[in-house]
Structure 1
Amino acid sequence: MNSVWEKAIKAEKVNTPKKFLDEIGEELFSKSSYVVRGNAIRLDEGDQHSFTYRFIIVSDRLQYSYNLFNIVHGIELYPVCIKTEEMIITQADIKGKIDTIDVNGFNVRGIICNDETDFKNTIIKIIQTDRVVKIIQSIISQSE
């Protein structure tokens, strides 16, 4: 007899937004000769209705961190809402993606990514902006 859970357990696995953030955080660490890293930290603000992560750029040598963006998603992972600085939104040319989504009954406004590919492409646009490049270069320079 098949398990009543078989359909759910054998469903295609989707990579989580946090997993992608962890991967790019580790890549930054290795590419910067272990000077700067990116950390995705879950924020627990008593909200059991969503998953909120802060992605920070960290230099242990400087004892400094910079909040680059936050993401919010429900239990179903996508859509994801990204919140970041207005300058970064403008430089990444993603202003047209600003909208409001329902995350488990709560309205969240920000940059909306409807699937994994959209999320990854949007994060790449964000981290390749002049603003983010300057932030990382500045932290690396001050850490040496």
Structure 2
Amino acid sequence: MSVANNEFEITKPETEWQKDLTPEQFKVLRKHGTERAHTSELDKQYGEGTYACAGCGQPLFTSETKFNSRTGWPSFFAPIEGAVGTTVDKALFMTRTEVHCSRCGGHLGHVFNDGPQPTGDRYCMNGVSLKFIAD
């Protein structure tokens, strides 16, 4: 599964993404990988600030929507309006909703319907796909 590169404001050849990202960021953001649970410092980050795309810097989530899902990945109940897009992911013999950056198409994680109110959503994000910017 992939999203056409030309659908996004920021597009780069794969070789340029490889130069601009760490190997793990490239694996997750550009190749739809998943980091191991409990490996991201951002899972336990609860300071005030904004979580932006590690690929292009677009703000994606605010600290006001972050919660402890106890899954081992940073989780949020809502993105910043217009910051993310979704596609159907049928890998691993199941159907999930993949979340990607609406600006560069980078794979961020998946959204599930078992989160807290007010939305009931759990945006389960790979920490390596995010960068935290403190207020």
TM class, shorter-length: under 0.3
Query: Higher relative contact order by CA 8 Å / sep ≥ 6: 1 or 2?
Result: 2
Which structure carries more helix by proportion?
Answer: 1
Larger Rg: 1
